Amino acid sequence: MSDLHTLSVAKLIEGLQSKQFSSVELTNHFLQRIDTFDKQINSFITVTKEQALEQAKSADKQLAEGDKRPLLGVPMAHKDIFCTQGVLTTCGSKMLHNFVAPYDATIVKNINEAGAVCLGKLNMDEFAMGSDNESSHYGAVHNPWDLHRVPGGSSGGSASAVSAGFVPFATGSDTGGSIRQPASFCGLTGIKPTYGRVSRFGMIAYASSLDQAGTFGRSAEDCAYLLQPMAGHDPRDATSINKEVPDYVQALQQAGQQASGNDKPLAGLRIGIAKEYFGAGLNADVEKQVKSALKQYEDLGATIVEVHITDPEITLATYYMLAPAEASSNLSRFDGVRFGYRCENPKDLHDLYTRSRSEGFGDEVQRRILMGTYALSAGYFDAYYVKAQKVRRLIVNDFNKAFEQCDVIASPTAPTTAYPLNTAVDPITMYLGDVYTIAVNLAGLPAISMPAGLSDEGLPVGLQLIGKHWDEEKLLSTAHIFQQHTDYHTLLSGIAKQEA
């Protein structure tokens, strides 16, 4: 079957369990697509072909024995920020160009136990620092909708791989929008769960109080299938919360069934709209598509209410004070002695440290380390870092007040569509691409981005829904019902339309 890569995860599961095709056939189909098209996209850093085929053979044997695990035999791939035992784990950096992880991250272990087949490790902005996937040591990733445009970042490799039809779903990480913004740029659905819902053990840290693993898929249903084994308490992660995980797939399907045949399936849902998300800097074409999607939500029975949140410019400044501060601390371990790249023939210890880090880290990583070190220095700690932490508390309070009036908050995911490669030469311009997403991470909230149509140039536009803490179930169901009544999530990129 030449169109296997266009099927939903649910259809792939159905096909595997009904023996329409085998996991080996499915895996080979995706591997062939990677081999044919990824030279144009550059979404993979490492393809684990032999390992994947072994996993697929094992999955076929277990399927033949009646094993009904939903993900058994379904291919996927991991962002190269998650440690994978025996496989290169680079974080998109020269600093870790030869690091083979000696253990699996918790989410990797959980997904393996669910029976999924891992095809490899996906490209990313170096140490997850970037919004366009141009800072990777392994080269820029290209957007499958337009090869001359960025896919977004830092999880651009994950987004491009799903959008190009190389995998049906993939993992990503989100520190300030790094799942949602690439999902928007590549016409996908991407969810960032509540902070603490998914273990960070084995995820190489950028900013520990902001980082959270999540998923990419074409639809909310695709994302739910992968999020299910990822979520849950992990005693190895001190920030993991011991809280029961709902059955996301079942909840989503039940919501869809209840909505079936109902003209107003979302009656009673209150969607909060903040004028702060629709101000200066928002592209007119993006605004038009997002407001059109919100009108469709109203047609489905939802009520639009006005809410107020912290000015995005304030959240942007807060984020770019706190995230680099945490990065400067987390990345101090990469010094050429304990971990990471070591320079050639150092003259002394000072030369070893200086050259190893300046040669091993790219410009964007060095920039953020310097910003963070400055903010944490003795003369500026109270004036910058402590003040930013106080503002972070106010951001949480503003969200709590807004949620007293609504169930979810809607906004554009990004102020623009995917922009051309090599155009974000000014770091501030790149940072502004996260203006609608970073508040979610500062508050530890869950959020989902889903396709809301195409711009006049034919580029995807994303709609973001923000939920209350631990309310991933509501976000997935709200997105799923919308996707049952629209076809934006079914639109394929130019690469995905091509047969290998």
- Round to whole Å and give the CA distance between 303 and 295: 10
Edge-to-edge strand order for the sheet containing 408-412?
44-47, 117-122, 75-79, 169-174, 212-217, 189-192, 447-454, 460-466, 408-412, 270-274, 303-307
Q: Would 118 be classed as within a structural domain?
A: yes
Specify if 106 maps to a domain: yes
Best CA proximity match to 362, nearest among 113, 103, 90: 90
Q: Quickly tell me which residue has 């200086």 as its tokens.
A: 354
Given 43, 93, 160, 178, which residue is catalytic? 178
Task: Tell me which of 23, 79, 121, 477 is the catalytic residue.
Answer: 79
SS3 content of the chain, % helix, strand, coil (to 5): 45, 15, 40
192 is catalytic: no
Rounded CA-CA distance 181/433 in Å is 8
First vs last C-alpha separation in the chain: 11
Domain containing residue 478: CATH number: 3.90.1300.10
Residue corresponding to tokens 């896919």: 151
Number of domains in the chain: 1
pLDDT score for 500 = 81
Residue ranges in the chain modelled with pLDDT below 70: 1, 424-425
- Which residues form the domain of 20? 4-259+471-490
Candidate list 23, 131, 135, 154, residue with the active-site label: 154
For residue 318, is it within any domain? no
The verdict on whether 449 is a catalytic residue reads: no
Domain membership flag for residue 351: no
220 found inside a domain: yes
User: pLDDT tens digit string along 44-102?
Assistant: 999 999 999 999 999 999 999 999 999 999 999 999 999 999 999 999 999 999 999 99
Let me know if residue 485 belongs to a domain. yes
57 is catalytic: no
Task: Give the predicted TM-score (pTM) of the model.
Answer: 0.97
Q: Are 264 and 301 in contact (CB under 8 A)?
A: yes
Q: Is residue 27 included in any domain, yes or no?
A: yes
**Which residues are paired to 174 by β-bridges?**
212
Q: What is the CA radius of gyration of the chain?
A: 21
- Tens digit of each residue's pLDDT (9 = 90 or more) over 396-431: 999 999 999 999 999 999 999 999 999 866 777 777
How far is 38 from 207, CA to CA, in rounded Å?
Answer: 30
